[in-house]
Every structure is written in structure tokens, then in C-alpha cells.
Amino acid sequence: MATHQLLVLAGDGIGPEVTQAALRLLDAVSEFGGWSVEKEEADIGGRAIDRFGDPFPAETRAKIDKAEAVLLGAVGGPSWDNAPKRPEAGLLAMRQYMGLWANLRPFRIFPGLEHLSPLSNATAQGVVFRELTGGLYFGEPRGRRFLPGDLEVVDTLRYRRSEMERIIRLAFQYASDHHLSLTSVDKANVLESSRVWREVTNELAQKFPDVALTHRYVDAAAMDLVLNPARYQVIVTENLFGDILSDLAGGLVGSLGLLGSSSVAGTPGTRGLFEPVHGSAPDIAGKGIANPTGAMLSVAYLVGWSWSEPEIQRLIEEAVAESLVEGPLTPDLGGTASTEEFTQTVINRARKIVQRRKIS
Ligand code: NAD
Ligand code: IPM
Ligand code: MN
């Protein structure tokens, strides 16, 4: 029997709850795939600060070096908000350490959940291609400088052209492969980096004449995503704008708990980091009611990308989508189900789908 390896970083808050749910589903579908999963665990974020005094400890790095794929829950929480080292720094360090410059964040209003979108009669299905290792998140210099009677604080928005080009090219390629339109989001009316972003996008557009390209300023894009979500199929944007717009997409589809993501280095079949878009949700942590859909979809993306098992990816995606129609749903979706109950529903669904396939 083939074996796939997985490194699990459950993290903080609801991280362990949704990760455990997604792993139970993975174990169930791996039977159908005819392979087994060898899991290793490591600490990241707040948990790692408590154990090692470091949100991204050497032990975790060593395990990443050997991993085929990494599944992450979430990091952060109020108990570390004023700590000298923040849990979030561990996640950022890991993305950079693994060289994961592309973050794909698909969103859609699931059939059966239309009423949960704040918009009536909205349809939305798209993917945000977020640049993940540049921009304001990593630029130097950064920090505080004490002045007489004042404080100066600096964050630096830095990009190389090559860093823009690789993510924009990936988004064009995806749009071209799937016959979708592309919206590039920037702030070229103000920022120099955005002006270069726009130049690079226009240059690449020559190589992808089949892709309908629109440029939008980020402020207008935020408004238009709310008013006309169906216009947005593939969105490509820099790190911070992508962070913000992907949470907006979570609101648009009814819950942030519905979004999974892939952080990758561009080439399918290679190692990636897969995590829900949401955070550690301290307000519901420990209650057993977190929606595990984002984590489950992240596992689906992992299986498809890092393990090249597209059929099992589809199986997970279908089982999740059908369970969202069937219910019972978690409280973020208006239901009363626990994480556990919803997870069992998805596992049962996956079994039924496999049966259905065998018969037909
Ligand atoms: P959050 O995403 O944790 O929560 C925002 C809201 O969405 C909360 O009301 C929460 O209950 C709800 N929510 C999120 N995921 C849910 C799910 N799966 N099921 C049901 N409801 C869900 O954002 P926040 O409150 O701004 O941040 C909390 C902490 O998480 C912070 O420390 C932040 O830095 C961190 N964070 C981590 C990640 C990550 O690890 N990738 C991502 C975002 C935020
Ligand atoms: C996300 C999160 C992270 C980000 C934080 C926790 C560092 O919000 O994955 O969307 O801003 O990238
Ligand atoms: Mn975010």
C-alpha cells in the first residue's frame, strides 16, 4: 500500500479542533484511495511559544524539511497578543522558510447556502491569488524609532519585479486553463509598487490574449466585490490586499469557516502548506462548534496538489458540498450541529459517494 506523509501543525484556538476533523475525513477517504497516511506533528504559533519560547522552533523547521505536505490549523490568540514574540510571526516565518509565494484562496456560495450570503440572489465563485512572501509583511526596515517627545514607526512595502511576475503569471495561467477572466487588484493611483505591478500585468497580458483582464484599485474592488461578486473569477493581488479581500470573500459566502487555502511554490506535485483562511477564533475556541469546512477543503487541495491525487480531492470537495446541502450545519451557518456531528456527516457522505460511483 502506498504511503503519503503529512506534517500536522494544529496550532492554537480552534486550530486543533478543525484539524482533527479534517484528519478524520482524510483517514476515511484514504481507505478509498488505497493508501495510508503517515502523520507527524509539530508546534507552531502560541503553543510553540509556550513550549520553546519561539513561534517557529528549530524542531518544527527540521520536520518541515522532511515533510511532503503541511496541514496547518490556525495560530494566535489573546493570551499572546502582548507577548514580545507573536504567534503570527511563526506562520509568516514558515511561509518564507518554505518559499511559498503563492496563496490560492477559492471562494464560492455553496448551493443550499445562498440565504447566508448578505446579498440576495448573489452568485459568487472565484479564487484569490495572493502574493504571500513579499510586500508590507516582510519589507525592511520595520519597527519603532523613539524621537524626542514622539514615536516614529515604519513598515516597508517592498517587492521585486520577479516576485510580482511569478504570482501574476500563475494567475494568468490558471485563468487561461480554466477559461476564466482575471482581475488584477492594486493601488496604482498611489503606490509605486502598484504601478510596477500594473506594468508587469499588462506585459504578461500580451502572452495570454485569451484571458480577459481588468485592473481595479483595491478600494473600488472591495466595493464591487460586494455589489457584483459574479464579476470576479480569478483575482490576483499583493500580500496585504489579498489578505483583506479573501476575508471579504468569506463574508460574501456566508462564513469565513467555509474557505480553505493552498500556499505553494507554483508547481503542482511539490510540497505546500494548506490551511483554512480563518484564524484561531478565540470567541468559539474549546466549544466544539467550529466549522471544519475550511480545514477539510484545505486537505482536499493538499491531496490534489502535493500528492497528485485529484480524484480524492474531488471526493472530499463533493462530500463537503453535499453535506452543506444536507446538514446539520454548524452555528456559523445558522445550525446547531457540533464540529463532530458535521464531520461525521461529511465522512458518511464520502462513503455514499464512493458507493454511488461503484454502482454507476
Ligand atoms: P478569526 O478568523 O479567528 O475569526 C473571525 C470571526 O470568524 C470570529 O467571529 C470567529 O468565530 C469566526 N470564525 C472563524 N473561523 C471560523 C470557523 N471555522 N467556524 C466558525 N466561525 C469561525 O479572526 P480574528 O478573530 O481576527 O483573529 C483571531 C486570531 O487568529 C488572531 O490572533 C489572528 O492573528 C489569528 N489569525 C490566524 C490565522 C492563521 O493562522 N492562518 C488567520 C487569521 C487570523
Ligand atoms: C491569514 C492570516 C495571516 C496573514 C496572519 C495570521 C499572519 O490573517 O492567513 O490570512 O495575515 O497572512
Ligand atoms: Mn487573514
pTM beyond 0.75: the answer is yes
| Catalytic residue set | 137, 187, 219, 243, 247
Pocket of ligand 2 (CB under 6 A): 76, 88, 91-92, 243, 277, 279
55 touches ligand 1 (CB under 6 Å): no
User: Measured from the CB, is residue 291 less than 6 Å from ligand 1?
Assistant: yes
Using a 6 Å cutoff on CB, does residue 331 contact ligand 1?
A: no
Kindly list the structural domains of the chain, giving each domain's residue range(s) and its CATH number in brackets, ordered by start: 1-110+256-360 (3.40.718.10)
Report how far residue 255's alpha carbon sits from residue 94's, in angstroms, rounded to the nearest whole number. Answer: 26
Q: Is 90 in the pocket of ligand 1 (CB under 6 A)?
A: no
If you measure from the C-alpha of residue 30 to the centroid of ligand 2, how many angstroms do you get, rounded to a whole number? 29
- How far apart CA 171 and CA 104 sit, in angstroms, is 9
Picking from 96, 13, 101, 4, the residue whose alpha carbon sits closest to that of residue 56 is 96
**Long-range contacts, 161-164 (Cβ 8 Å, 24+):** 161/196, 161/200, 163/101, 163/131, 163/133, 163/134, 164/131, 164/196, 164/197, 164/200, 164/238
Strand partners, 139: 156
Best residue among 280, 291, 330 to mutate for probing ligand 1's pocket (most ligand atoms within 8 Å of CB) is: 280
Per-residue pLDDT tens over the stretch 219-276: 999 999 999 999 999 999 999 999 999 999 999 999 999 999 999 999 999 999 999 9
Ligand 1 atom with minimal separation from the 15 CA: 40
Walk along the chain (360 residues) and give the pLDDT tens digit of each residue: 789 999 999 999 999 999 999 999 999 999 888 889 999 999 999 999 999 999 999 999 999 999 999 999 999 999 999 988 999 999 999 999 999 999 999 999 999 999 888 777 778 999 999 999 999 999 999 999 999 999 999 999 999 999 999 999 999 999 999 999 999 999 999 999 999 999 999 999 999 999 999 999 999 999 999 999 999 999 999 999 999 999 999 999 999 999 999 999 999 999 999 999 999 999 999 999 999 999 999 999 999 999 999 999 999 999 999 999 999 999 999 999 999 999 999 999 999 999 998 876
DSSP conformational letter for 284:
T
Measure 35 CA to ligand 2 centroid, in angstroms.
32
Cα separation, 214 vs 184, whole angstroms: 6
Q: How many C-beta neighbours within 10 Å does residue 292 have?
A: 29
Taking CA 97 as the corner, what is the angle to CA 282 and CA 256, rounded to the nearest 5 degrees?
A: 30
CA angle 266, 271, 277 (to 5 degrees): 75
How many whole angstroms separate alpha carbon 18 and alpha carbon 47? Answer: 16
- Residue closest via CA to ligand 1's atom 10 equals 281
User: Are 44 and 9 spatial neighbours (Cβ–Cβ below 8 Å)?
Assistant: yes
